[in-house]
């Protein structure tokens, strides 16, 4: 299973944690090829703004593809250039 560098994880979590409930600071993701999908349960907080998703794309040296709501879970997909 591929993982992001710990420093990159921390940078991304610093952006997205403000959308999560205080006791659930999590960064769940799946890397497949050159794409990465982040998962966030709806009950875990609120939807991340497009502006902050663009910041995450910059950290990943890639581009923001889009978001979906699937089974009470937000899914945010990026093309990753790391």
pLDDT in tens, 37-68: 988 878 776 778 889 999 999 999 999 999 88
The HSE-up count of residue 72 (CA atoms within 13 Å, CB side) is 2
Q: Find residue 38's DSSP bridge partners.
A: 29, 76
User: Angle between the 6-16 and 50-59 helix axes, to the nearest 10 degrees?
Assistant: 170
Q: What was the pLDDT predicted at 74?
A: 85
pLDDT at 48: 83
pLDDT single digits (tens) 5-24: 899 999 999 998 888 776 66
């Amino acid at each position: 299973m591929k993982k992001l560098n710990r420093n990159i994880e921390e940078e991304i979590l610093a952006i997205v944690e403000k959308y999560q409930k205080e006791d659930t600071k999590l960064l769940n993701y799946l890397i497949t090829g050159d794409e990465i999908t982040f998962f966030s349960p709806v009950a875990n907080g609120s939807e991340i703004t497009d502006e902050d998703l663009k910041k995450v794309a910059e950290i990943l040296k890639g581009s923001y593809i889009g978001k979906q709501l699937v089974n009470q879970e937000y899914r945010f997909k990026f093309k990753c250039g790391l």
